[in-house]
Structure formats: C-alpha cells, structure tokens
C-alpha cells in the first residue's frame, strides 16, 4: 500500500427511517489506491460511497478527508467536494448545457479557472476521454458510454484528489461497458485514487489494489484482489462470489 | 349588409365610440403585462422558498408565509380579491385603479405561477442536483445554473397557459370601475343598446391577443428545445 491516508471513515452509521443501512464502517483509503467495493444490492455500498462526499449525511461516525474531519459541524462541505470527484450510475450530465459547458461550469463558477483556461482544459479532457468532436453537442445526443466518459471528464476538470464511482457501468449497454472501464483503467494507471462501487468483477480483479465486500452494512472482508477472489474466507462472500463469477 | 354598416357606425364610429374599446384594450394590455411580471417574480420567489424548504428543511417561517399566501389566493375568487384590494386595502390611500388591478392580478397569478414553477423544479431529476453539489457548487449555484433553466423549460407550456388565463381574467376589472377591454365594450353597449357588435368585437380582440400570446410561447419553447435535438 502506497502513500498517506487520504480518506478515512470511523465507525460510520447511516439510518434511513429506522432502516440501518450502514452499521459501523471503518476503513482507510490511501493515496494512489484503487478500492473496489462489491456486495449484494441493498447492502449499503452505494450509501457508503455517497457518505464519503456527504451526499448522504452519516447518522453517526465520522469521515476524515486529508486529515480534516468533514463530518464536523461548521465544515464547508462545498469546498471539500471540489476535491472529491464523483461519477454516477445515471451519468447525470447537465441536460441544459453543452458538453463543453458541462465540463467548464463548476471550475468557472467556483472561480478556480478563467473561462479561457477552463475551455482549454475541457478540450484537453475531451481529447483524453476520446471525444474531442463532442464539445458542442448536448448530452441527449450521446450514447450511454459517451455520457459516462464525459461525466468522468467533468469530474476530472476539478483536479480532484480522489474519484468516487457509483456503479459507473451498471446503466450501460453491454457493448459500451468496455470503453468506460478502459478509461477508468487509464486513470488508475496514472495514479488517481479511486473508490469504485461495481459489479464488474473483472475490473475489480485486474485494476483494484484492494477489494472490499460489504454486506448488511458492514465490511465483511477486504483484501488485495488475488487473495480476495482466490481465497475468500467469509461465508457470505463465498456465496456471493459463487453466484456472480 | 346595410344593417351591418349602420350597426358598425352606430357602435364604433358615432361620437368616436371606438375610443372606449381602444382605451380598454390599452388598459388590459398594461394590467396583464405588469401583473404577469409581478406574478413571475412572486411565483419564482415562492417556488424557490417552498422547494428549498422541502429539500433542506430550512426557511420554516418564509415557507409558512408562502403556504398562507397560496391558500388564501387559491381559496378565494379572483374577483373578491380585486374588490378587497381596491375597496378595503387601498381604501384610504389614493391609488389608481390600474395600480390596484395590477397588484390584485399579480398577487393572484403569483400563486399559480408558484405552484407551476415548483412542479417544474420537482420534475428535474434529483441526479442533476446531486451532480452539481458533488462538484462543489452550493445550493444556490446548483439551482441557478442547472435546475432552474431545466425547470423553466419544462413548465413553459403551463406558464403560457397561466398567462392566457390571466389575460382573460382581467376582464373582471370593470367591477372596480376600470375601463378594460370588456368594460369598454360594455360601455358602448350601454349607450347604443345593441349588444352584438361591441361584444363580438371585444371577443375577437381577446381571441387575437391569446393567439398572439400562444404563438410567442410556442416560439420560445422551440428555441429552448435546442438541447434536446
């Protein structure tokens, strides 16, 4: 494991209307790590991910980002989120804006870049995600795979220190999964710290530096991928893997 | 045919009676336009407060005031509101009838615009807001740059409809003695005792106005739909 601790959760609990979704999750994510989170649906893995940038407010416990407890009262969560990129299952590109505007909106409005800088950065990023000709298109004109690559570019435009992926390929047609995974693989290779909730076991095995199995709101097992898939110890994980592999 | 010309002359040409209709037409336009502006301003404000409250739980007192406003305005007839505003609220201050009408119709329209806009805000997928917030935009920025433009586009047909209703509703302005289009036509009827010409003329003018308004809304809709092609 490399680098310093970037993101840490301490005994995280989340309850929705009497339903305990997270029951005490403590873990650390270090710089440069790629953590894949797997688990049955409804197990709390998405809730856990969304707690990391406080899209969900934990009921109890704390989240520490770059040494700062962001769940503490009085923390400017908007400032924190600038450094935590997020990619959603449903892409969530801004439907009223062109692709270029989707990418430049936040950096410009938050005063991080001038309009010119942001435009240039957007074109660079579009080049990087392989869609340089889509700058003036609108989200509704793109395929799912293209949308997700744009969503990744949009998150990258903020120069985040960590990227959260919430089932980034689950809403894609099968033939488009590859292009998105390929891009994520490149990101990982470039050293981006990533936390990925996924059902793509192949991706978890090949790209992740650590795989985490969440079930009923707790981390049942976490390990480096070879050991995780090759020699699962937890009974529930063994069942799960036997069904999905 | 001769009869038609005679009737026309009697109702519109003699003593320059067309002036009543003209003056009423101008008043109707002024009232509708200013009331629509007031309605939009109020409606958006109320919608933003209400949906903000629903989402964050903040702004309890403003939300309560908005609720009372919506309940009262939507729960009483427009005509009564107009009469109360002119004869009760503005009773002791000397304001023009047009001003009173603009306030009454603007307050009235605002309530309906508010609910239309709120439905538009709710129609925008939650993911749009989450994506904005995840990038570090605050609530206001997310609303301003992402949610409201989409909400506005979604509710444009309903808003257009509301302004058509507003335009026609101003026809009750005569109840405070204001010469709007309807009242102007009615004055002529009172003088000439021939109802056909003035009433049909008034109806035709309303029809033309509404058709023009619908056309404008339709154009705006098409312009805003660019991003969906």
How do residues B65-117 score in pLDDT, each as one tens digit? 999 999 999 999 999 999 999 999 999 888 999 999 999 999 999 999 999 99
**Which residue matches tokens 């101003």?**
B170
Q: What is the pLDDT of residue A42?
A: 86
- Is the pLDDT at B150 greater than 80? The verdict is yes
pTM above 0.90, yes or no: no
The interface predicted TM-score of the complex, written ipTM, equals 0.92
Alpha carbon distance B189, B195 (integer Å) = 5
Confirm if A179 and A210 have CB atoms less than 8 A apart: no
Question: Do B137 and A110 lie within an 8 Å CB cutoff?
Answer: yes
CB contact under 8 A, A88 and B141: no
Q: Which helix (H) or strand (E) holds A116?
A: helix A115-128
Q: Would you say residue B2 has pLDDT above 80?
A: no
**CB atoms closer than 10 angstroms to residue A51:** 24
Q: Which of B121, B136, B224 to mutate to test the interface with A (most CBs of A within 10 A)?
A: B136
**Average per-residue pLDDT for chain A:** 95
Q: Number of A to B CB contacts under 8 A, please give it.
A: 78
Residues of chain A neighbouring B137 (CB-CB closer than 8 A) = 78, 105-106, 109-110
Helices (H) and strands (E) in chain A, counts: 9, 10
Among B135, B138, B147, B228, most A C-beta atoms within 10 A, so best to mutate, is B135
Encoding tokens for residue A74?
């009085």
**B133 vs A138: CB contact, 8 Å cut-off?**
no
Cα–Cα distance, B55 to B48 (Å, whole number):
10
Better-scored residue on pLDDT, B227 or B20: B20
The pLDDT of B129-147, averaged and rounded, is 96
pLDDT band at A245 (very low <50, low <70, confident <90, very high): confident
Nearest alpha carbon to residue A40 among A228, A169, A220, A224: A220
**CB under 8 Å to B73, separation ≥6 — which residues?**
B81, B107, B108, B110, B111
- Mean of the pLDDT values across residues A154-158? 97
């Amino acid at each position: 494991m490399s680098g310093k601790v970037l993101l840490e959760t301490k005994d995280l609990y989340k309850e929705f209307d009497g339903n305990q979704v997270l029951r005490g999750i403590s873990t650390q994510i270090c710089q440069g790590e790629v953590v894949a989170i797997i688990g049955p649906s409804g197990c709390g893995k998405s809730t856990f991910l969304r707690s990391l940038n406080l899209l969900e407010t934990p009921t109890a416990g704390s989240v520490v980002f770059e040494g700062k407890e962001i769940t503490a009262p009085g923390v400017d969560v908007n400032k924190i989120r600038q450094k935590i990129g997020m990619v959603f299952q449903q892409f969530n590109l801004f439907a009223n804006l062109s692709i270029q505007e989707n990418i430049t909106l936040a950096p410009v409005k938050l005063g991080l870049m001038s309009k010119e800088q942001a435009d240039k950065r957007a074109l660079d990023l579009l080049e990087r995600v392989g869609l340089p000709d889509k700058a003036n298109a609108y989200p509704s004109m793109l395929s799912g795979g293209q949308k997700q690559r744009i969503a990744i570019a949009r998150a990258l435009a903020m120069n985040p220190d960590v990227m959260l992926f919430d089932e980034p390929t689950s809403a894609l047609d099968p033939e488009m999964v590859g292009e998105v995974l390929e891009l994520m693989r490149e990101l990982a290779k470039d050293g981006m710290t990533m936390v990925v909730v996924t059902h793509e076991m192949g991706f978890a095995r090949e790209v992740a530096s650590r795989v985490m199995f969440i079930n009923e709101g707790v981390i049942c097992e976490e390990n480096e991928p070879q050991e995780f898939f090759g020699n699962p110890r937890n009974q529930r994980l063994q069942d799960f893997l036997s069904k999905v592999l | 045919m001769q009869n038609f010309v005679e009737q026309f002359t009697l109702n519109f040409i003699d003593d320059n009676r067309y002036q009543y209709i003209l003056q009423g037409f101008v008043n109707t336009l002024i009232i509708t336009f200013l009331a629509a502006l007031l309605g939009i301003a109020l409606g958006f404000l109320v919608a933003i407060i209400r949906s903000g409250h629903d989402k964050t739980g903040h702004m309890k007192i403003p939300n309560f005031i908005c609720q009372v406003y919506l309940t009262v305005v939507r729960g009483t007839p427009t005509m009564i509101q107009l009469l109360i505003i002119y004869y009760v609220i503005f009773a002791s201050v000397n304001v023009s009838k047009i001003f009173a009408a603009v306030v009454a119709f603007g307050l009235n329209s605002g309530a309906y615009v508010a609910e239309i806009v709120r439905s538009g805000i709710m129609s925008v997928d939650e993911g749009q807001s989450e994506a904005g917030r995840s990038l570090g935009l605050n609530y206001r920025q997310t609303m301003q740059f992402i949610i409201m433009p989409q909400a506005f586009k979604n509710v444009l047909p309903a808003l257009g409809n509301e302004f058509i209703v507003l335009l026609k509703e101003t026809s009750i302005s005569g109840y405070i003695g204001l010469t709007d289009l309807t009242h102007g036509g009615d004055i002529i009827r009172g003088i000439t005792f021939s109802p056909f010409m003035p009433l049909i003329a008034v109806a035709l003018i309303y029809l033309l106005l509404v058709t023009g308004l619908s056309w404008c809304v339709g154009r705006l809709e098409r312009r805003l739909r660019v991003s969906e092609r």
